[in-house]
Amino acid sequence: MARDGLVAGLFLLRGPGKRVEGTAPLELPGGGDVTRGVSTGRAWQDLARETVESFDSRDIADLYSVEWAEARDVLVSEHRDAIESEPPGWKRELVRASALLHGLVRRLSPSRRLVVLVVLVGFVVSFLKLVTGGWPAEAAWTVFTLLVLTVLLLLLLGLELVDKLRFRDELVMARQLQAELVPQSLPAVPGFELGAFNRVANTVGGDLYEFQPLPDGRLAILFGDASGHGMAAGLVMAVAHTAWRLQVERDPSPAAVLETLNRVLCRLGTCRTSGPRQFFAGVALLLRPDGSFTTAIAGHPPVLRVDPAGSVVERFGRGAYPLGIKQTQTYGVEEGRLGSGELLLLHSDGLPEARNAEGREFGDARILPVLARTAGRPASEVAAALSREVLDFLGRRPVGDDVSIAVLRRAPAA
């Protein structure tokens, strides 16, 4: 299965015998201990106390405004055109309800679909008994039917929860392994400042940034975004990271880096002509100690050069296919230079495409004022300001796609 492949693939990329620092063994939900039994009564008391202590009234509002909105969008995604084609009114709402039910049932196994069918039929029959006067004569039977249907729903919910917990544990393991691929601390580069931010949409993300100082004083940079998010994107990201590491040791030039990554990803199968396709939009950059640099960009948002006053003075990125789309694709190289106090801003498409609860996008226009406000500030502060801006814009809504930011600033002359 795909999730098993990602866990195994990340383990191989990570290498044997290496422990993930700062991580703890997996625990049961609620902090349970698998090595020591706890009485049922005590477990319920602990659960009640934890619920009261962690209760936040805003979470209740989020059930509808955030969580239900996201679930609804996922469930009706396949029928969105059919819903929008209906004029506003009861017919549209009927189509929407049908799409919701179909999206929910389709994700269940066949046996569980039958349980849902039985429950729905049972509730309809019980409702008809109530509205047609059948309740007084058959009250006990109707109550018993409703109790059985409720038990069936709870059973179905329990089965789905167990599946989710199994899947979550594998995701957590994959996340722990993948965390080593994203630098937890940035290297010190003489004459330059670095800042970065990363927020994943799922447990396993597809965004990647890496800074590799070279023996001759140059700095090799890879910044990219695998299509989609979650397990499939994480696998593409891990393969791209490993291929980049190997290529930098041989030839760190941006054109060679992207050509190698493209070739490796195509061999992985992302260049297939049918079925789901995965690709990697990325930036390869090679910075010299004097501030000059070369870069090649594959289907990624432009790299911005920002002057000390906080104004964008140059954009790099001529437009090209992402990596893993065409085996014969070549990538052009652009050259530039960072002056004293200037910076380069790299960001994934998850930044401008972040949507708040009202459905509005963050957009490129919101990035420019932040750059102006942070003019002359260190790279880490610029990255932090951008991350705060997008998180404030989202409010309590989680990111819909992975968001990554990297800032590279040439230190001002003393």
Question: 34 and 144: one domain?
Answer: yes
Greatest Cα pair distance in the chain: 92
- The CA R_g of the chain, rounded to the nearest whole Å, is 26
Question: 170 and 147: one domain?
Answer: yes
How far apart, in whole angstroms, are the C-alpha atoms of residue 47 and residue 170? Answer: 24
Final residue of a domain: which of 156, 177, 198? 177
Question: 196 and 117: one domain?
Answer: no
How far apart, in whole angstroms, are the C-alpha atoms of residue 272 and residue 326? Answer: 9
Question: 159 and 206: one domain?
Answer: no
- Residue 338 in any domain: the answer is yes
Question: 129 and 221: one domain?
Answer: no
- Residue 182 in any domain: the answer is no
- Residue 298 in any domain: the answer is yes
Please state the domain count of the chain.
Answer: 2
* Residue ranges making up the domain that contains 300: 187-410
- Residue 367 in any domain: the answer is yes
Final residue of a domain: which of 124, 146, 177? 177
- Residue 56 in any domain: the answer is yes
What band does 69 get if pLDDT is binned at 50, 70 and 90?
confident
Question: 239 and 310: one domain?
Answer: yes
Instruction: Classify the C-alpha dihedral 191-249-247-254 as positive or negative.
Output: positive
**How many of the other CB atoms lie within 10 Å of CB of 38?**
11
What band does 413 get if pLDDT is binned at 50, 70 and 90?
confident
**pLDDT tens by residue, 280-313:** 899 999 999 999 999 999 999 999 999 999 999 9
| Most confident region among 7-16, 77-86, 227-236 by mean pLDDT | 77-86
Question: 97 and 36: one domain?
Answer: yes
Q: Does 32 score more than 50 pLDDT?
A: no
Question: 317 and 237: one domain?
Answer: yes
Q: What is the pLDDT of residue 271?
A: 56
CATH number, domain of 236, equals 3.60.40.10
Question: 164 and 191: one domain?
Answer: no
Q: What is the pLDDT of residue 36?
A: 47
What mean pLDDT do residues 51-74 have? 75
Final residue of a domain: which of 177, 198, 225? 177
Q: What is the pLDDT of residue 256?
A: 94
Question: 155 and 236: one domain?
Answer: no
Q: What is the pLDDT of residue 393?
A: 92
**How many of the other CB atoms lie within 10 Å of CB of 141?**
13
How far apart, in whole angstroms, are the C-alpha atoms of residue 220 and residue 211? Answer: 6
What mean pLDDT do residues 6-22 have? 39
**pLDDT tens by residue, 373-409:** 999 999 999 999 999 999 999 888 888 788 899 999 9
Q: What is the pLDDT of residue 22?
A: 34
**Residues ≥6 apart with Cβ < 8 Å to 291:** 191, 337, 338, 339, 342, 410
Q: What is the pLDDT of residue 50?
A: 83
**Residues ≥6 apart with Cβ < 8 Å to 264:** 239, 240, 243
Q: What is the pLDDT of residue 277?
A: 65
Q: What is the pLDDT of residue 129?
A: 78
Question: 217 and 94: one domain?
Answer: no
Question: 8 and 97: one domain?
Answer: yes
User: Among 44-53, 337-346, 403-412, which stretch is predicted with the lowest mean pLDDT?
Assistant: 44-53
**pLDDT tens by residue, 96-126:** 888 888 888 888 888 888 888 888 888 888 8
Residue 305 CA: distances (Å) to CA of 162, 172, 274, 342: 49, 37, 38, 7
Contact 298, 331 (CB under 8 A): yes
